[in-house]
Amino acid sequence: MGELYVPVSIESIQADIFPDVALYIKSGGKYILYKSHGRNFSSQDAARLMENKVEFLFVSPADLEVITAYMENNAERVLKDDTLEAKTKGKIIYQTSINFVGDIFEHPQKVSDFSRSQRMVENLLQYLASDRDSFQSLESVMTHNYYTFVHSLQVTALSVLLHAEAYLLSHDEMLDVGIGTLLHDFGKVFVSPAILSKEGKLTPKELEEYRKHPEEGYQYLKKNTKLSDISLGVVRCHHERNNGNGYPQGLKGPEISRSAQVAAICDVYCTLTIDRSCRKALSSSIALLIMKQEMKGSFNERLLDTLEGIVCCDNPAQFL
Ligand SMILES: [Fe+2]
């Protein structure tokens, strides 16, 4: 995703409470300054942009903290507003984050998959918003570490596509899978932000704390929400590995639920292919090569092949 420019839906900008940050427009993959610090963003600006079919403006990494705080408050306001329907609440959270979902596709011309996963994630968020406990859990992830929230959306977008290709899932099961995946890293709210954003290797002690997140997330969500066993399984087992080398339980192959196997693959794939400041993103073919060779035995090979069919572009005929 390059540097973490944060997309802000124009509809969600409330001129009176919006912070004084520079705003950018994305054009041809570049960010162009639209409004500098100190200049107000007026309702006329919003109207003009919407007339020109611009839906999102972007905030630069320099203002990440300010905009994250605004979005936290906005999410809290939205969540507490009883006059808003669940559908609207989900849509507002979706609008603040959906541009990141596109980053999982190396080839944006693969429009059909992109819009399909966007729709699925939008439906999931609207559904999740109807359950206060689950929605608050997602909000906690968003406010604790924004990168984790963005990453969770990306893993979910890919996971629903991979499930749809690999299995015949009922609508209800797809919802359970999607919600479990949206919340798969919930346990990171118990990990210190310094560890989550540390660049470079974690010390053994830090690694031990980090590795508690699947079990702690599972225990908390089991106790405090009505998430299904399928969803909870994704949260607890997304770091298990096919060969038993994962954690927290060291489960092997079929002992790991298929949705947790899918989540594990999508989690690693998104981590390898999406840029973070400390490491350059890899192409989809290199990422898959690493997962198939260096990490051989870690993942279900049939699912890896299915993922390859979704994300690689060896066959141009599959693109629109
Ligand atoms: Fe995780």
Instruction: Output the DSSP codes for 298-316.
Output: SS-HHHHHHHHHHH--S-G
pLDDT top residue among 172 and 276: 172
40 and 97 part of one domain: no
Residues 6+ apart with CB under 8 A from 293: none
39 and 158 part of one domain: no
- Compute the CA torsion angle 133, 97, 197, 30 (nearest 10 deg): 180
- Compute the CA torsion angle 164, 168, 173, 176 (nearest 10 deg): -30
Rounded to whole angstroms, the Cα distance separating 90 from 127 reads 7
Q: Please, what is the average pLDDT of the chain?
A: 83
Provide the domain limits for residue 9.
1-64
Query: Apex CA 213: angle with CA 128 and CA 176, to 5°?
Result: 30
| CA 260–ligand 1 middle distance (angstroms) | 11
45 and 164 part of one domain: no
140 and 243 part of one domain: yes
- Considering the domain boundaries, does residue 125 fall inside one? yes
| CA 238–ligand 1 middle distance (angstroms) | 6
Rounded to whole angstroms, the Cα distance separating 90 from 284 reads 30
pLDDT computed for residue 157 by the predictor: 86
- Considering the domain boundaries, does residue 71 fall inside one? no
The pLDDT tens digits of the residues spanning 273-302 come to 876 555 567 888 899 999 999 999 999 999
221 and 263 part of one domain: yes
| CA 32–ligand 1 middle distance (angstroms) | 34
pLDDT computed for residue 319 by the predictor: 36
60 and 90 part of one domain: no
131 and 11 part of one domain: no
| CA 202–ligand 1 middle distance (angstroms) | 15
Nearest C-alpha neighbor of 162 from the set 287, 300, 289, 271: 300
Nearest C-alpha neighbor of 166 from the set 250, 296, 265: 265
| CA 190–ligand 1 middle distance (angstroms) | 12
| CA 268–ligand 1 middle distance (angstroms) | 9
Mean pLDDT, to the nearest integer, of 184-189?
92
216 and 263 part of one domain: yes
The count of structural domains within the chain is 2
The pLDDT tens digits of the residues spanning 77-128 come to 776 777 877 777 777 777 666 656 666 666 544 555 666 777 777 778 777 7
- Considering the domain boundaries, does residue 259 fall inside one? yes
- Considering the domain boundaries, does residue 74 fall inside one? no
- Considering the domain boundaries, does residue 10 fall inside one? yes
Confidence of residue 198 (pLDDT cuts 50, 70, 90): confident
Largest CA distance in the chain: 58
